[in-house]
Amino acid sequence: MTRRLLLGYLTLTLFVLLVLEVPLGISYAGRQIDELTLDVERDAVALASLSEDALEGTMSIDLQSVADAYQARTDGRLVIVDADGVVVADSDPLRPGERSFASRPEVARALDGEVATGTRRSDSLNENLLFVAVPIASGGQIHGALRITYPTSTVDARVWRNWLRLAAVAIVTLAAAAVLGIVFARSVTRPLRRLQETATRFGQGDLDARTPTDAGPPEVRSLAVAFNDTASRLEDLVTAQEAFVADASHQLRTPLTALRLQLENVQAEIDPEHGEDVDAALREVERLSRLVDGLLALARAERTSPTVTAEPVDLADLLRERGEVWASVASDQGVELVTVFAPHLAAAWATPDHVAGVIDNLLANALDVSPDGGSVTLSCTGGGNGTVEAHVVDEGPGLSEEERTRVFDRFWTSSTGGPRLGGSGLGLPIARRLARLDGGDLELRAADGGGIDAVLSLPAAR
């Protein structure tokens, strides 16, 4: 954001400089040409008056000396022609001998009684020239013409120096604007960055996170105050929700336990004819108990902030350990646990307890849906993009693509797949939450044999 603000300041400053300096430079260049033209034209008129008597023959004046003296003083070339356009004096002749300038447009106009001024390119001199041609006349009779040509290189040099001065001013101004822009941008972005960091921490579960309200412009301070107020209200709501869930779970456990005990007592006394009804009621009580426990676990997982106890975790060792723990359960259900580990696999960067909890949940689900004589395969591989993956693959009936998408919705259960976390529909949402707390993810894929390939993806340790 600092770069964008600074770029905006510099773009605006550069635009203002261009609007101001470009016309100023162009005006200066035009003014220099106009001033030079006026000076040369003034000299031409004065010298034409001096040359008039010499061309009329009323005064003996060495016009060649006049032309040479003028060029020595001003670097301007002076040419004087008679009424036929034949050169009388030339301060810088290109070649010796008699020459006629009658064909030169500016001289022709001067011989017609007009004053001709302008600039043109001289191929012989290979430079731009400013020319002024005036008639030499008296009493309405044209006696000749006088032309002064002056190289524009001197003016061009002054104009170029002026452009350099303007460029230097622009560079200094842009540098000053950059320094001031950085200071101002940081005064705005620093509190915004702190606000962003605080919002990130708050979104990750740190409900005590607050941002300073005494830094930055008034608008940012007002935003910080509003954010802190909103965070406080949300913290109160979440705290109240957690307290409600905890209290509700505690209060529900007691009557559910009592109800189960009473049903068990009734079961021992009633005749077998009604035993199935009591068994069904006991199963519902057990399901309600697991649902209460799942709600409490989900609330705790949602509140948990990103762990600071993450460490390198050897997925192969952890999968092997959890497989040994679940081996007896799998054996009782007639399911074989198979482990397949890729060699030289990078460790995962995660919280061991989180990973173990996710694997336990996936194993419980896989065993629930596995048929007798089936198998559950535990494996770990490199996932690419700096991740490692743990796979739990079952041979159950599997799920459709839509069901694999919805399976992480809370309280959703599939009529095809077996129950998850006792059928509460909370096990996989909790497992995905734990995976994402460690910067990973959890997804279900279709297995080759028709079952489910549950994939836990975690960042690789560096």
Residue 210 has pLDDT above 80, yes or no: yes
% of residues, the chain, pLDDT over 70: 89
As assigned by CATH, the class of the 2-157 domain is alpha beta
Cα separation, 175 vs 166, whole angstroms:
14
Confidence (pLDDT) at 300: 60
Nearest in space to 429 (alpha carbons), one of 444, 446, 451: 444
pLDDT (mean) for 351-373? 87
Using one digit for the tens of pLDDT, what is the confidence trace for 221-277? Answer: 888 888 888 888 888 887 787 777 767 776 777 787 777 777 777 777 776 666 677
Residue 397 has pLDDT above 90, yes or no: no
For the chain, the average pLDDT equals 82
- 120 and 132 Cβ atoms separated by less than 8 Å: no
Confidence (pLDDT) at 417: 45
| Residue whose entry in the numeric block shows the structure tokens 């021992």 | 268
DSSP 274: G
Cα separation, 30 vs 34, whole angstroms:
6
Cα separation, 433 vs 205, whole angstroms:
12
User: What's this model's pTM, rounded to 2 decimal places?
Assistant: 0.47
Confidence (pLDDT) at 12: 84
pLDDT (mean) for 1-6? 71
Query: Which of 11-25, 35-49, 409-423, 432-446 comes out lowest in average pLDDT?
Result: 409-423
Return the structure tokens found at 203: 């979104």
| DSSP labels, 341-377 | E-TTPPPEEE-HHHHHHHHHHHHHHHHHHPPTT-EEE
Helix axes 153-203, 2-56, angle to 10 degrees: 170
Could you tell me the fold of the domain covering 311-459?
Answer: Heat Shock Protein 90 (3.30.565)
Cα separation, 37 vs 118, whole angstroms:
8
Confidence (pLDDT) at 208: 80
The residue ranges of every structural domain in the chain are: 2-157, 218-303, 311-459
Q: Is 412 exposed, middle or buried (0-12, 13-18, 19+ CB in 10 A)?
A: middle
Nearest in space to 66 (alpha carbons), one of 56, 79, 53, 84: 79
Return the structure tokens found at 342: 């890729």
Q: 81 vs 56, which has greater pLDDT?
A: 81
pLDDT (mean) for 450-460? 90
All residues at 6 or more sequence positions from 138 whose CB lies less than 8 Å from its CB, including other chains: 52, 56
Could you tell me the fold of the domain covering 218-303?
Answer: Helix Hairpins (1.10.287)
Using one digit for the tens of pLDDT, what is the confidence trace for 84-143? Answer: 889 989 988 877 766 888 888 999 999 998 999 988 887 766 778 889 999 998 877 888
Confidence (pLDDT) at 418: 46
Return the structure tokens found at 137: 């006349």
Residue 422 has pLDDT above 50, yes or no: no
Nearest in space to 442 (alpha carbons), one of 428, 432, 453, 427: 432
- 89 and 67 Cβ atoms separated by less than 8 Å: yes
Cα separation, 68 vs 75, whole angstroms:
10
Nearest in space to 289 (alpha carbons), one of 158, 105, 422, 187: 422
Q: 296 vs 461, which has greater pLDDT?
A: 461
Confidence of residue 155 (pLDDT cuts 50, 70, 90): confident
